[in-house]
A and B are shown apart, each in its own frame.
Chain A
Amino acid sequence: MMDRFPGDPVDGFPAPPRTFTDSEGREIELREVDPGAVEALVEMYLAFDPQDRAQGIPPVSEDAIREWLDVVTGPEAFGVVASHGDSAVGHVMLVSDERGAYELAIFVLQDYQGAHIGTELIRTALGLAEREGIERVWLSVERWNSPAISLYRKVGFERVGDESFELEMALRLDTHNQTERVG
Protein backbone atom coordinates (compact mmCIF):
# COMPACT_ATOMS: atom_id res chain seq x y z
CA MET A 1 0.00 0.00 0.00
CA MET A 2 1.10 3.51 -0.71
CA ASP A 3 3.08 5.11 2.10
CA ARG A 4 5.20 7.70 0.27
CA PHE A 5 3.85 11.10 -0.66
CA PRO A 6 5.44 14.26 -2.01
CA GLY A 7 6.34 16.83 0.64
CA ASP A 8 4.99 19.89 -1.15
CA PRO A 9 1.23 20.29 -1.40
CA VAL A 10 -0.61 21.24 -4.59
CA ASP A 11 -3.63 23.55 -4.46
CA GLY A 12 -5.95 25.67 -6.58
CA PHE A 13 -8.38 22.96 -7.65
CA PRO A 14 -12.02 23.88 -8.39
CA ALA A 15 -14.77 22.12 -6.40
CA PRO A 16 -18.04 20.76 -7.82
CA PRO A 17 -20.65 21.55 -9.00
CA ARG A 18 -19.45 23.29 -12.13
CA THR A 19 -19.98 23.19 -15.86
CA PHE A 20 -17.55 23.66 -18.69
CA THR A 21 -17.50 23.38 -22.46
CA ASP A 22 -15.27 20.60 -23.72
CA SER A 23 -13.02 20.97 -26.76
CA GLU A 24 -15.79 19.50 -28.96
CA GLY A 25 -18.16 22.27 -27.85
CA ARG A 26 -20.25 20.01 -25.58
CA GLU A 27 -21.53 21.40 -22.30
CA ILE A 28 -20.35 19.07 -19.52
CA GLU A 29 -21.69 19.16 -15.98
CA LEU A 30 -19.50 18.05 -13.08
CA ARG A 31 -21.29 17.06 -9.88
CA GLU A 32 -20.46 15.19 -6.71
CA VAL A 33 -21.67 11.60 -6.96
CA ASP A 34 -24.84 10.93 -4.95
CA PRO A 35 -27.09 7.83 -4.84
CA GLY A 36 -29.17 9.30 -7.68
CA ALA A 37 -26.15 9.10 -10.01
CA VAL A 38 -25.68 5.34 -9.70
CA GLU A 39 -28.05 4.25 -12.51
CA ALA A 40 -26.38 6.62 -14.98
CA LEU A 41 -22.98 5.24 -13.92
CA VAL A 42 -24.19 1.65 -14.44
CA GLU A 43 -25.21 2.62 -18.01
CA MET A 44 -21.85 4.29 -18.59
CA TYR A 45 -19.86 1.29 -17.42
CA LEU A 46 -22.01 -1.15 -19.41
CA ALA A 47 -21.08 0.89 -22.50
CA PHE A 48 -17.40 0.92 -21.62
CA ASP A 49 -14.90 -0.31 -24.21
CA PRO A 50 -13.06 -3.40 -22.89
CA GLN A 51 -9.70 -2.08 -24.13
CA ASP A 52 -10.02 0.91 -21.83
CA ARG A 53 -10.34 -1.26 -18.76
CA ALA A 54 -7.49 -0.86 -16.30
CA GLN A 55 -6.20 -3.48 -13.87
CA GLY A 56 -9.47 -5.38 -13.80
CA ILE A 57 -11.89 -2.46 -13.51
CA PRO A 58 -14.54 -1.62 -14.45
CA PRO A 59 -15.94 -5.14 -14.15
CA VAL A 60 -17.76 -6.62 -17.16
CA SER A 61 -21.14 -7.94 -16.03
CA GLU A 62 -23.92 -5.68 -14.73
CA ASP A 63 -24.02 -7.50 -11.38
CA ALA A 64 -20.29 -7.06 -10.90
CA ILE A 65 -20.51 -3.41 -11.97
CA ARG A 66 -23.23 -2.77 -9.37
CA GLU A 67 -21.28 -4.55 -6.66
CA TRP A 68 -18.16 -2.53 -7.51
CA LEU A 69 -20.13 0.75 -7.61
CA ASP A 70 -21.43 -0.05 -4.11
CA VAL A 71 -17.81 0.13 -2.93
CA VAL A 72 -16.58 3.09 -4.97
CA THR A 73 -19.67 5.22 -4.26
CA GLY A 74 -20.00 3.95 -0.67
CA PRO A 75 -19.51 5.69 2.67
CA GLU A 76 -15.69 5.40 2.46
CA ALA A 77 -15.62 7.09 -0.94
CA PHE A 78 -16.03 10.41 -2.75
CA GLY A 79 -16.63 10.90 -6.43
CA VAL A 80 -17.43 13.29 -9.24
CA VAL A 81 -19.53 12.41 -12.28
CA ALA A 82 -19.28 14.21 -15.64
CA SER A 83 -22.60 14.36 -17.47
CA HIS A 84 -23.54 15.39 -20.99
CA GLY A 85 -27.33 15.86 -20.99
CA ASP A 86 -28.76 12.91 -19.08
CA SER A 87 -25.79 10.60 -19.70
CA ALA A 88 -22.84 9.98 -17.45
CA VAL A 89 -19.72 10.23 -19.62
CA GLY A 90 -16.96 10.29 -17.01
CA HIS A 91 -16.39 9.34 -13.40
CA VAL A 92 -13.61 9.90 -10.94
CA MET A 93 -13.56 8.16 -7.57
CA LEU A 94 -11.56 8.48 -4.37
CA VAL A 95 -11.68 5.51 -2.01
CA SER A 96 -10.17 5.48 1.48
CA ASP A 97 -7.35 3.03 2.19
CA GLU A 98 -6.53 1.67 5.65
CA ARG A 99 -4.00 4.44 6.26
CA GLY A 100 -6.35 7.37 5.78
CA ALA A 101 -5.07 8.22 2.29
CA TYR A 102 -7.32 7.99 -0.76
CA GLU A 103 -6.87 5.96 -3.92
CA LEU A 104 -8.04 7.72 -7.08
CA ALA A 105 -9.23 6.32 -10.40
CA ILE A 106 -10.86 7.94 -13.40
CA PHE A 107 -12.82 6.60 -16.37
CA VAL A 108 -14.05 8.56 -19.38
CA LEU A 109 -16.35 7.06 -22.01
CA GLN A 110 -14.59 6.51 -25.35
CA ASP A 111 -16.53 9.13 -27.36
CA TYR A 112 -15.63 11.76 -24.78
CA GLN A 113 -11.92 11.09 -24.51
CA GLY A 114 -9.41 13.64 -25.81
CA ALA A 115 -11.72 16.57 -25.10
CA HIS A 116 -10.17 17.75 -21.80
CA ILE A 117 -12.98 16.13 -19.79
CA GLY A 118 -10.47 13.92 -17.96
CA THR A 119 -8.39 16.91 -16.91
CA GLU A 120 -11.39 18.88 -15.65
CA LEU A 121 -12.87 15.82 -13.92
CA ILE A 122 -9.71 15.03 -12.02
CA ARG A 123 -9.06 18.67 -11.07
CA THR A 124 -12.64 18.94 -9.79
CA ALA A 125 -12.33 15.72 -7.81
CA LEU A 126 -9.16 17.06 -6.19
CA GLY A 127 -11.06 20.27 -5.38
CA LEU A 128 -13.73 18.14 -3.70
CA ALA A 129 -11.07 16.18 -1.83
CA GLU A 130 -9.42 19.40 -0.66
CA ARG A 131 -12.78 20.68 0.55
CA GLU A 132 -13.34 17.40 2.44
CA GLY A 133 -9.97 17.76 4.17
CA ILE A 134 -8.31 14.88 2.34
CA GLU A 135 -4.58 15.38 2.30
CA ARG A 136 -3.01 12.39 0.58
CA VAL A 137 -4.16 10.96 -2.75
CA TRP A 138 -2.50 8.14 -4.70
CA LEU A 139 -3.15 6.03 -7.75
CA SER A 140 -1.64 3.21 -9.72
CA VAL A 141 -1.48 3.16 -13.49
CA GLU A 142 -0.20 0.63 -16.00
CA ARG A 143 3.25 1.86 -16.97
CA TRP A 144 2.53 1.69 -20.73
CA ASN A 145 -0.51 3.97 -20.35
CA SER A 146 1.33 7.18 -21.22
CA PRO A 147 -1.78 9.35 -21.94
CA ALA A 148 -3.02 8.67 -18.40
CA ILE A 149 0.42 9.19 -16.87
CA SER A 150 0.82 12.59 -18.55
CA LEU A 151 -2.67 13.62 -17.39
CA TYR A 152 -1.82 12.71 -13.80
CA ARG A 153 1.52 14.51 -14.03
CA LYS A 154 -0.15 17.60 -15.50
CA VAL A 155 -2.48 17.99 -12.49
CA GLY A 156 0.43 17.55 -10.05
CA PHE A 157 0.85 13.84 -9.29
CA GLU A 158 4.43 12.67 -8.87
CA ARG A 159 5.82 9.21 -9.39
CA VAL A 160 6.62 7.42 -6.16
CA GLY A 161 7.45 3.84 -5.33
CA ASP A 162 9.12 1.10 -7.30
CA GLU A 163 8.40 0.31 -10.90
CA SER A 164 6.30 -2.73 -11.55
CA PHE A 165 3.69 -3.43 -14.22
CA GLU A 166 1.93 -0.53 -12.57
CA LEU A 167 3.65 2.59 -11.46
CA GLU A 168 2.40 4.52 -8.49
CA MET A 169 1.86 8.24 -8.29
CA ALA A 170 0.87 10.43 -5.37
CA LEU A 171 -0.13 13.98 -4.59
CA ARG A 172 -0.42 15.97 -1.39
CA LEU A 173 -3.29 18.46 -1.16
CA ASP A 174 -3.04 21.77 0.61
CA THR A 175 -5.42 21.32 3.54
CA HIS A 176 -3.10 23.22 5.84
CA ASN A 177 -5.45 26.15 6.51
CA GLN A 178 -8.39 23.86 7.26
CA THR A 179 -6.28 21.75 9.59
CA GLU A 180 -5.19 24.85 11.47
CA ARG A 181 -8.76 26.03 11.84
CA VAL A 182 -9.82 22.66 13.23
CA GLY A 183 -6.81 22.49 15.53
Chain B
Amino acid sequence: MQIIVGVDGSEGGMQTLEEAVARAQAADDDLTVAVYSPEGSAADVEAAVRNRLDALGFDARIQVLDGDPGARLVDVAQREEYDRIVLSGGHVSPLGKVQVDSVIEFVLLNAHTTVTLVR
Protein backbone atom coordinates (compact mmCIF):
# COMPACT_ATOMS: atom_id res chain seq x y z
CA MET B 1 0.00 0.00 0.00
CA GLN B 2 0.95 3.62 -0.53
CA ILE B 3 0.75 5.46 2.79
CA ILE B 4 1.13 9.16 3.51
CA VAL B 5 1.69 10.17 7.12
CA GLY B 6 1.23 13.78 8.17
CA VAL B 7 3.74 14.89 10.82
CA ASP B 8 3.87 18.24 12.59
CA GLY B 9 6.57 19.18 15.09
CA SER B 10 4.64 17.91 18.12
CA GLU B 11 5.58 14.93 20.26
CA GLY B 12 2.40 13.20 19.08
CA GLY B 13 3.48 13.79 15.49
CA MET B 14 6.83 12.07 16.04
CA GLN B 15 5.17 9.15 17.84
CA THR B 16 2.81 8.80 14.91
CA LEU B 17 5.80 8.74 12.55
CA GLU B 18 7.36 5.90 14.54
CA GLU B 19 4.12 3.91 14.51
CA ALA B 20 3.71 4.47 10.78
CA VAL B 21 7.29 3.34 10.12
CA ALA B 22 6.85 0.20 12.26
CA ARG B 23 3.64 -0.63 10.40
CA ALA B 24 5.19 0.08 6.99
CA GLN B 25 8.15 -2.18 7.82
CA ALA B 26 5.85 -5.00 8.92
CA ALA B 27 3.54 -4.68 5.91
CA ASP B 28 6.18 -3.68 3.38
CA ASP B 29 4.23 -0.50 2.62
CA ASP B 30 5.57 2.47 0.75
CA LEU B 31 5.66 5.48 3.09
CA THR B 32 5.71 9.19 2.36
CA VAL B 33 6.12 11.63 5.25
CA ALA B 34 4.28 14.92 4.74
CA VAL B 35 5.75 17.48 7.12
CA TYR B 36 4.14 20.70 8.22
CA SER B 37 4.37 23.16 11.06
CA PRO B 38 1.29 25.02 12.33
CA GLU B 39 3.57 27.48 14.12
CA GLY B 40 7.26 27.76 13.36
CA SER B 41 9.41 26.37 10.62
CA ALA B 42 8.57 23.35 8.48
CA ALA B 43 12.30 23.05 7.73
CA ASP B 44 12.95 22.29 11.41
CA VAL B 45 10.26 19.61 11.36
CA GLU B 46 11.74 18.21 8.16
CA ALA B 47 15.19 17.98 9.77
CA ALA B 48 13.75 16.29 12.87
CA VAL B 49 11.86 13.79 10.70
CA ARG B 50 15.00 13.05 8.65
CA ASN B 51 16.97 12.40 11.85
CA ARG B 52 14.30 10.12 13.20
CA LEU B 53 14.07 8.16 9.94
CA ASP B 54 17.89 7.76 9.94
CA ALA B 55 17.79 6.55 13.54
CA LEU B 56 15.07 4.05 12.61
CA GLY B 57 17.06 2.97 9.54
CA PHE B 58 14.03 3.51 7.33
CA ASP B 59 13.96 5.14 3.94
CA ALA B 60 10.88 7.27 3.20
CA ARG B 61 10.14 10.14 0.90
CA ILE B 62 9.69 13.48 2.70
CA GLN B 63 7.38 16.11 1.31
CA VAL B 64 6.92 19.57 2.83
CA LEU B 65 3.32 20.81 2.83
CA ASP B 66 3.16 24.51 2.03
CA GLY B 67 0.08 26.59 2.64
CA ASP B 68 -2.87 25.11 4.52
CA PRO B 69 -1.58 21.71 5.70
CA GLY B 70 -4.97 19.97 5.95
CA ALA B 71 -6.08 21.07 2.50
CA ARG B 72 -2.71 20.18 0.97
CA LEU B 73 -2.67 16.74 2.59
CA VAL B 74 -6.15 15.90 1.28
CA ASP B 75 -5.18 17.16 -2.16
CA VAL B 76 -1.86 15.32 -2.38
CA ALA B 77 -3.38 12.07 -1.07
CA GLN B 78 -6.09 12.10 -3.71
CA ARG B 79 -4.05 13.42 -6.63
CA GLU B 80 -1.17 10.98 -6.04
CA GLU B 81 -3.54 8.09 -5.31
CA TYR B 82 -2.43 7.18 -1.81
CA ASP B 83 -4.34 4.34 -0.14
CA ARG B 84 -4.31 5.82 3.34
CA ILE B 85 -3.59 8.98 5.30
CA VAL B 86 -2.15 8.52 8.79
CA LEU B 87 -2.27 11.31 11.36
CA SER B 88 -1.72 11.80 15.06
CA GLY B 89 -5.05 11.38 16.84
CA GLY B 90 -4.88 14.71 18.58
CA HIS B 91 -3.29 16.35 21.58
CA VAL B 92 -4.12 15.66 25.19
CA SER B 93 -4.92 18.66 27.38
CA PRO B 94 -3.45 19.08 30.89
CA LEU B 95 -6.43 17.32 32.47
CA GLY B 96 -6.57 14.56 29.87
CA LYS B 97 -9.08 15.71 27.24
CA VAL B 98 -8.38 14.68 23.67
CA GLN B 99 -8.23 17.76 21.46
CA VAL B 100 -8.46 17.44 17.71
CA ASP B 101 -6.76 20.31 15.90
CA SER B 102 -8.04 22.01 12.77
CA VAL B 103 -5.72 20.08 10.45
CA ILE B 104 -7.04 16.73 11.67
CA GLU B 105 -10.61 17.96 11.53
CA PHE B 106 -10.24 19.24 7.97
CA VAL B 107 -8.72 15.96 6.80
CA LEU B 108 -11.43 13.85 8.49
CA LEU B 109 -14.22 15.87 6.94
CA ASN B 110 -12.74 16.30 3.48
CA ALA B 111 -10.59 13.32 2.59
CA HIS B 112 -11.91 10.71 0.18
CA THR B 113 -8.89 8.67 1.21
CA THR B 114 -9.15 6.35 4.25
CA VAL B 115 -7.78 8.07 7.35
CA THR B 116 -6.12 6.42 10.34
CA LEU B 117 -5.71 8.36 13.58
CA VAL B 118 -2.99 7.07 15.90
CA ARG B 119 -3.64 7.22 19.66
Residues of A within 8 A of B (CB): 54-57, 59, 68, 71-72, 76-77, 93, 95-98, 103, 105, 140, 162, 164-166
Residues of B within 8 A of A (CB): 92-102, 105
Which residue among A76, A77, A97, A140 has the maximum number of chain B CB atoms within 10 Å of its CB?
A140
| Residue among A55, A59, A72, A105 making CB contact with B99, cutoff 8 Å | A55
Q: Which residue of A lies closest to B101 (CB)?
A: A164
Query: How near does chain A come to B110, taking the closest CB pair, in angstroms?
Result: 14
Known contacts A55-B93, A140-B99, A164-B105, then 11 further A-B pairs from the complex at CB < 8 Å, ordered by chain A residue: A55-B97, A57-B95, A59-B96, A93-B95, A95-B94, A98-B94, A103-B95, A103-B97, A164-B102, A165-B100, A166-B97
| Residue among A54, A77, A96, A162 making CB contact with B97, cutoff 8 Å | A54
Query: How near does chain B come to A33, taking the closest CB pair, in angstroms?
Result: 13
A166 to B100, CA, bound (A): 8
| Residue among B92, B95, B99 making CB contact with A166, cutoff 8 Å | B99
A165 to B109, CA, bound (A): 11
Query: How near does chain B come to A182, taking the closest CB pair, in angstroms?
Result: 25
Query: How near does chain A come to B60, taking the closest CB pair, in angstroms?
Result: 29
Contacts of A54 in B (CB 8 A): 97
B96 lies within 8 A of A72 (CB)? yes
A56 to B96, CA, bound (A): 7
| Residue among A57, A68, A164 making CB contact with B100, cutoff 8 Å | A164
- With A164-B100, A166-B100 given, is the CB distance from A71 to B95 under 8 Å? yes
Contacts of A72 in B (CB 8 A): 95-96
Closest 5 CB pairs of A and B: A55-B97, A95-B95, A56-B98, A95-B94, A97-B94
A57 lies within 8 A of B97 (CB)? yes
A103 to B100, CA, bound (A): 16
A97 to B100, CA, bound (A): 18
A68 to B94, CA, bound (A): 11
A54 to B98, CA, bound (A): 9
A165 to B99, CA, bound (A): 8
A140 lies within 8 A of B97 (CB)? yes
Query: How near does chain A come to B52, taking the closest CB pair, in angstroms?
Result: 24
Which residue among B94, B96, B98 has the maximum number of chain A CB atoms within 10 Å of its CB?
B94
List 8 interface pairs A-B (beta carbons < 8 Å), by A numbering. Answer: A55-B93, A56-B96, A71-B96, A77-B95, A93-B95, A96-B94, A97-B93, A164-B99
Which residue among A72, A77, A95, A164 has the maximum number of chain B CB atoms within 10 Å of its CB?
A164
B105 lies within 8 A of A103 (CB)? no
A182 to B97, CA, bound (A): 34
Query: How near does chain B come to A112, taking the closest CB pair, in angstroms?
Result: 21
